């Protein structure tokens, strides 16, 4: 009978070796990397955001256009989490990989900017960010200033454009909205360049992002999946480990850094 702890240690060692020998490693991160920072994911039974709300009713482009106040009311506690969240050990482990030249780029589905807060510099946000907002009337873009956020979070005041007075839309990608063209192109280029893709905290069910691992596999890249639950690609990749990212990823990175110093 296989010892589960021994099997996991073996997979951790294999993942560390793949990272150590890779010439162009890229990471793809989903909501699961940020749940230890207190930000809920979208699909986990009982706790996922979409188990409590219909995404098309509260988080679609049509919902925003026709009921922006309802959208901002729904988003308010989520943004409060984003603003006060801090990077966890998994985010910090990726920063260590980047600083040690063992990670070229992070492609993230997350809008929380925790990779940047952790110190990572090469981050592609394919689902946008709450750091800026754009007016749908005059297309003026502003930064999410402390005053704007305080007015919104403390008083529930819907952000409005300082130029024309129309409601501002946060620069996050809603259902029914296309991904930002430049970021998506950059992400595709990184996938085509990589020889190793490290998938962290993603269920790989959201299109078109779920196609990125398939592109990496098709061109012969090694793929590592670290996730709390299983994914449909687990049997097709080099390493698949299920468990807590904030524990497993730092362990892998420790091994990579340790081997580098030998």
Asked whether residue 100 falls in the same domain as residue 198, the answer is yes
Asked whether residue 6 falls in the same domain as residue 107, the answer is yes
Asked whether residue 227 falls in the same domain as residue 258, the answer is yes
Boundaries of domain holding 2: 1-39+87-127+180-262
Asked whether residue 16 falls in the same domain as residue 140, the answer is no
pLDDT digits (tens, 9 = 90+) for 171-215: 999 888 889 999 999 999 999 999 999 999 999 988 899 999 999
102: annotated active-site residue: no
Query: Is there a contact between 225 and 237 (Cβ–Cβ < 8 Å)?
Result: yes
35-46: burial string, b at 16+ Cβ within 10 Å, e else: bbbebbbbbbee
Confidence bin at 259 (pLDDT 50/70/90): confident
Asked whether residue 77 falls in the same domain as residue 149, the answer is yes
Asked whether residue 25 falls in the same domain as residue 122, the answer is yes
The residue from 91, 102, 115, 127 that is catalytic is 127
Look at residue 261 in the predicted model and tell me its pLDDT: 67
Asked whether residue 49 falls in the same domain as residue 134, the answer is yes
Higher-confidence residue of 95 and 155: namely 95
Asked whether residue 149 falls in the same domain as residue 123, the answer is no
Residue 197: give its domain's CATH number. 3.40.50.1220
227-257: burial string, b at 16+ Cβ within 10 Å, e else: beeebebeeebbbbbebebbebbbbbbebbb
Higher-confidence residue of 102 and 5: namely 102
Domain count, the chain: 2
- Strands lying side by side in the sheet with 239-242: 123-125, 105-108, 25-29, 196-200, 222-227, 239-242
Average pLDDT of the residues of the chain: 89
Can you give the pTM of this predicted structure?
0.91
Look at residue 130 in the predicted model and tell me its pLDDT: 85
Asked whether residue 58 falls in the same domain as residue 139, the answer is yes
Residue 168: give its domain's CATH number. 3.30.1600.10
Look at residue 54 in the predicted model and tell me its pLDDT: 54
């Amino acid at each position: 009978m296989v010892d589960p702890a021994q099997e996991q240690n073996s997979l951790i060692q294999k993942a560390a070796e793949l990272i150590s020998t890779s010439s162009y490693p890229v990471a793809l991160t989903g909501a699961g990397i940020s749940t230890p920072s207190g930000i809920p994911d979208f699909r986990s039974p009982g706790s996922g955001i979409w188990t409590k709300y219909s995404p098309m009713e509260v988080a679609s482009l049509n919902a925003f256009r026709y009921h922006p106040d309802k959208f901002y009311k729904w988003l308010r506690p989520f943004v409060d989490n984003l603003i006060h969240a801090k990077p966890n050990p998994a985010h910090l482990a990726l920063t260590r990989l980047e600083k040690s030249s063992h990670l070229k780029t992070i492609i993230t589905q997350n809008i929380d900017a925790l990779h940047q807060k952790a110190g990572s510099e090469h981050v592609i946000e394919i689902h946008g960010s709450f750091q800026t907002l754009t007016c749908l009337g005059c297309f003026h873009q502003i930064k999410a200033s402390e005053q704007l956020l305080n007015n919104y979070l403390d008083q529930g005041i819907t952000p409005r454009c300082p130029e024309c007075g129309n409601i501002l839309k946060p620069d996050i990608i809603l259902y029914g909205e296309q991904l930002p063209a430049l970021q998506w192109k950059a992400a595709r280029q990184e996938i085509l360049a990589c020889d190793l893709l490290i998938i962290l905290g993603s269920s790989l069910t959201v299109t078109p992002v779920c196609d990125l691992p398939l592109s990496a596999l098709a061109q012969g890249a090694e793929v590592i999946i670290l996730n709390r639950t299983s994914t449909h690609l687990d049997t097709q990749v080099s390493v698949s480990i299920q468990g807590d990212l904030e524990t497993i990823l730092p362990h892998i990175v420790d091994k990579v850094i340790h081997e580098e110093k030998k």
